[in-house]
Chain A
Amino acid sequence: MLRESSDRQGTLDRLNLQGAVDHSDSGVPHDSLLTAFAEAAVRRTDSLPGLRERIAAELGPQELVDSAGVVANFQRMVRIADGCGIPLDDFTKEASEDWRDQLGLHQYASAANTA
């Protein structure tokens, strides 16, 4: 989805998928602030209140609400996926074959549950 949306927005050539799994620059505007917020929310770190305020101040209060919504949504979706041991969809398998290894996703424990 990230590759598709970047392609449509003409930013695919600057996209670095590694940015989703570590702190490297993904090429997405404000990515470091947004992913730091996501990480603080998931890991419950003390930096969360400050990052919340920064998103509200630098991007806007509705962007903060959007950000909280994304965290909520994917905290849910990963538990559905891993709780049901779902297989990869055919279209995902084909589209992601080249970069799953590259990002080290096969090292995740849940890789054994997702055929």
Chain B
Amino acid sequence: MTTTIAPFSYIDTDWQIPGRIRDAHRRSWERLSAAGDWWTGAERVSIAAECRRASALVDGLPDPGAGPAELPEAAVFAIHRLIGDLPNVSRDWYDATVSADGMSDARYVELLGVLVAVWSVDEFHRAAGLPLEPLPSPITGEPTQRRPAGLADNGSWPPTLAAKSLADSEADIYLGFPRAANVWAAMSLHPDSVRWLNDLFHAHYLSWEEIGDLETEHRTLTRAQLEIMAGRVSALNECFY
């Protein structure tokens, strides 16, 4: 008799990993393996694999290998820049990337959504001293190629959805808030990336509702301790926003 261990079981860890983190990581791997709107499941797993290759390159570690599907050259280049060369991300670079063969603004945003989700799950593991979870096997399926209605130039490079412009199919992405901060709306060209962000944001940090509640301590670290660390990580990445 064989036993299958679910991903992110955190059985032999020195620290107890809360259920909200474990469950969000499991949902992340489910999302990762399935087709999105603009990439197949195999391509999404390949984006994750390339993300790990980029990280290994920066860290001087052995190449962990490519994923199951070939990615456009511009996608591979984008992944390496977003992981290891963030200061050189620019408007000109973005315009060239989304215009390249096999790319578009929608494919770029979905790629970014996959990249930041996998990267942050992996960064949690690295910071906590845990081994990286093996990537999931892709699920067969075709991208929907669905572009949401109501997109507009709201100042970000890709078009975004304002809270007041949400169609019924996207009504959930800002959790009913009447407006969304620009970083929250940044990936709304691919609405499921916003849903994924909401899930991991709450798991790793605070929910969007908890952010506005400065009267309650929602974690074991105080709010000021969370924020001084957030500021330090942002400063080390030279993030102006």
Q: Does B86 contact A (CB under 8 A)?
A: yes
| A-B pair number, CB within 8 angstroms | 249
Contacts of A44 in B (CB 8 A): 58-59, 126
Is the CB of B119 closer than 8 A to any CB of chain A?
yes
Interface centre among B94, B181, B222, B235 (most CB of A within 10 A): B235
List CB contacts (< 8 Å) of B70-127 with chain A: 82-83, 86-91, 94, 109, 112, 115-117, 119-121, 123-124, 126-127
Given contacts A41-B126, A63-B220, A71-B127, contact A78 B234 (CB under 8 A): yes
Across the interface, B231 reaches (CB within 8 A) one of A20, A48, A84, A89, namely A20
Q: How far is the CA of A38 from the CA of B205 in the complex (A)?
A: 14
Does A47 have its Cβ within 8 Å of any Cβ on chain B? Answer: no
Interface assignment of B215: CB less than 8 Å from any CB of chain A: yes
Shortest A7–chain B CB gap in Å is: 8
**A31, closest chain B residue (CB):** B228
The distance in angstroms between the C-alpha atoms of A44 and B224, with both chains bound, is: 24
Tell me whether A41 and B127 are in contact in the complex, defined as CB-CB below 8 angstroms, given that A83-B82, A109-B87 are known contacts: yes
Contact bitstring A89-115, B, C-beta under 8 A = 1, else 0? 100000000000000011011111111
B21 lies within 8 A of chain A by Cβ: yes
- Bound CA–CA A53/B60 (angstroms): 24
Complexed CA–CA distance, A74 and B241 (Å): 12
**B120 contacts A9, C-beta separation under 8 Å:** no
CB of B225 within 8 A of CB of A80, answer no
Contact of A69 among B116, B203, B238 (CB under 8 A): B203
Interface of chain A: mostly helix, strand, loop or mixed: helix
Q: How many residues of A contact B (CB 8 A)?
A: 72
User: From A17, which residue of chain B is reached at the shortest CB distance?
Assistant: B231
Complex: A79 Cα to B182 Cα, angstroms: 13
- Decide yes or no whether B65 CB sits under 8 A from chain A: no
Q: Do B224 and A2 have beta carbons less than 8 Å apart?
A: yes
Chain B interface (Cβ < 8 Å from any Cβ of A)? 14-18, 21, 58-59, 82-83, 86-91, 94, 109, 112, 115-117, 119-121, 123-124, 126-129, 155-158, 181-183, 186-187, 197, 200-201, 203-205, 211, 214-215, 219-241
